[in-house]
Amino acid sequence: MVGQAYLSAWKLPVSALPELPAGVRPIVVGGNGFVVTAWVDYQEGGVLSYREIMATVPVRDGLAASITHIWVDSPVSVAGGRALWNIPKDLAEFDMTHGSRFTASARTAEGPIAEAEYRVLGRFPFRLPASFSVIQAGPKKSPVRASGRLAPARAAWKIDPNGPLGYLDGRRPFASFALLDFRMRFGRA
């Protein structure tokens, strides 16, 4: 897969974290856990091209995360994510604009999920490699390898308080960044 990703990290009390699969435990520091949200635009040149928004919780199993909420605009991606990796994908409609500022919004038939605006603050001149795992119900553990140009960013989010990410409403991410021109392999070859 290839594309652009815009991420934000949030700190929440453990009691406010979304539910994780049985036996999967969040990383906790000082009574707080974390959520990482991402807007991803998978673009031409990869296996599929589609857009998504997701929320993940970093978990205790090496460098790993569990996807708790995810929406895409591709029925093929919904079917594959659920069947292959136990990822709870649902369908949504997206508006995304790339440029000096990245803007995005997502909504389901039931209503809005979130909106965000990212301003990239520069970028590193090299590609940064990363390897981690996604752990879903089962437990199903899938390796992920990626590389891209990491860029610090400022992000402003508007989250529907009555929507599925309402637990983040009224909070601000403590860090945001972009992973530009990424290449990613999800799962085993």
Q: Is 164 left (phi over 0), alpha (psi -120 to 50) or beta?
A: alpha
Taking the C-alpha atoms of residue 30 and residue 173, their distance in angstroms, rounded to an integer, is 17
Burial class (CB in 10 A: 0-12, 13-18, 19+), 103: middle
Query: How would DSSP label each residue in 76-88?
Result: HHHHHHHHHH---
Q: What pLDDT was estimated at residue 134?
A: 96
> pLDDT 10s per residue in the chain (189 long)?
999 999 999 999 999 999 999 999 999 999 999 999 999 999 999 889 999 999 999 999 888 999 999 999 999 999 999 999 999 999 999 999 998 899 999 999 999 999 999 999 988 878 889 999 999 998 899 999 999 999 999 999 999 999 999 999 999 999 999 999 999 998 875
Taking the C-alpha atoms of residue 73 and residue 176, their distance in angstroms, rounded to an integer, is 24
Specify the pairing of strand 89-91 against strand 93-97. unpaired
62 residue type, one letter: G
Q: What pLDDT was estimated at residue 189?
A: 59
Q: What pLDDT was estimated at residue 15?
A: 96
Q: What pLDDT was estimated at residue 100?
A: 82
Q: Which residues of 142-155 are buried (b: 16+ CB within 10 A; e: fewer)?
A: bebebbbbbbebeb
Taking the C-alpha atoms of residue 59 and residue 133, their distance in angstroms, rounded to an integer, is 10
Q: Is 87 left (phi over 0), alpha (psi -120 to 50) or beta?
A: beta
Name the 3-class secondary structure at 176. Answer: strand
